[in-house]
Structure 1
């Protein structure tokens, strides 16, 4: 029964995200990106895991460009491997892969992530992530032998007071949304 509630909540959040106007997307994304940048600077993190955005997610390309230009932090992104992903250094060109996700070429990056910026579809009553339902982020963080600071971001906050997550779902330390 819990999984039905989680699935229904996910669908309602996706529906909410699909009906954001192009102007509102640009406006909200800029505010959110500025806030994420301030947070990275305040926390003084050096190795940051970002994501390459899908249409429903906050467009953080301006943040990626700024961080790379300023060279204050090392920028890493997910590279899908099976049911999870590994961390690779962000570099061009990007190639479109499974689920429409763009990725740089595969490379080896044995690095300890200090901060992970994670896109969410929704957030449950325990501040745990409701994603697209594939569990890739959950599997990745479960395998780590340390816990980086986790920042959830979402264009339009979609939360519930209900507990819809499982024990293995990742929990936010920080949430930045409009």
Structure 2
């Protein structure tokens, strides 16, 4: 049985060891599965932009496809406040300037702030997840704190390049399980009740 720390190390290493061709193929198949999701009732989408050096899921093609297919969607991006472990959220418009944080995360330089309660769908980054919908991120707890601020009916969709581990043994009460996780091979739906 693996702890979050073990899983974090193992899956970050797996991702960093992907060659460019394999990573591109996985991201392409993940996009195909994202096209199968139901986006009805969604008006505001919160997304992350990938940290290229960490070979995170490439959300750019997903965003492009959603923008073309659902032009009415409004987009929201986070900005990490590393001193507090919190995130701010900004409307992402055509003219919104993006700057790389010290961790290489493309973030909005500013703009119109959006409250977490105003979001309908959140695309969630991760290193790994289990068969109950619990995720392992980088260990700062920022996304769990953020998801707790969202409405109870917000739809959370994790994006992973890998299939799940069976169980994360050291989840705790502040961990927020996801509704759905999309991988290159499967779409997992979880019952959070």
TM range (shorter): 0.7 to 0.9
- 1:65 aligns to 2:64 (yes or no): yes
After TM superposition, give the deviation of residue 23 of structure 1 in Å.
0.8
Match of 1:37 among 35, 55, 71: 35
| TM-score relative to the length of structure 1 | 0.86
Q: Structure 1 residues 124, 165: CA separation in 2 closer, same or farther (over 3 Å shift)?
A: farther
Instruction: Number of aligned residue pairs: give it.
Output: 175
- 1:106 aligns to 2:104 (yes or no): no
After TM superposition, give the deviation of residue 141 of structure 1 in Å.
1.5
Q: Structure 1 residues 36, 13: CA separation in 2 closer, same or farther (over 3 Å shift)?
A: same
Per the alignment, residue 50 of structure 2 pairs with: 53
- 8 Å Cα contact 2:98/2:106 also seen in 1: yes
- 8 Å Cα contact 2:27/2:57 also seen in 1: yes
Runs (5+) with no aligned partner, structure 2: 185-193
**Partner-residue secondary structure (3-state), 2:37:** helix
Matches within 5 A, 1:1-178: 5-41=3-39, 43-55=40-52, 56-70=55-69, 71-81=71-81, 82-91=84-93, 92-107=96-111, 108-110=113-115, 112-178=118-184
Distance 2:89 2:35 in 1: 20
Runs (5+) with no aligned partner, structure 1: none
Q: Structure 1 residues 11, 158: CA separation in 2 closer, same or farther (over 3 Å shift)?
A: farther
After TM superposition, give the deviation of residue 37 of structure 1 in Å.
3.4
| TM-score relative to the length of structure 2 | 0.80
More helix by share: 1
Q: Structure 1 residues 46, 34: CA separation in 2 closer, same or farther (over 3 Å shift)?
A: farther
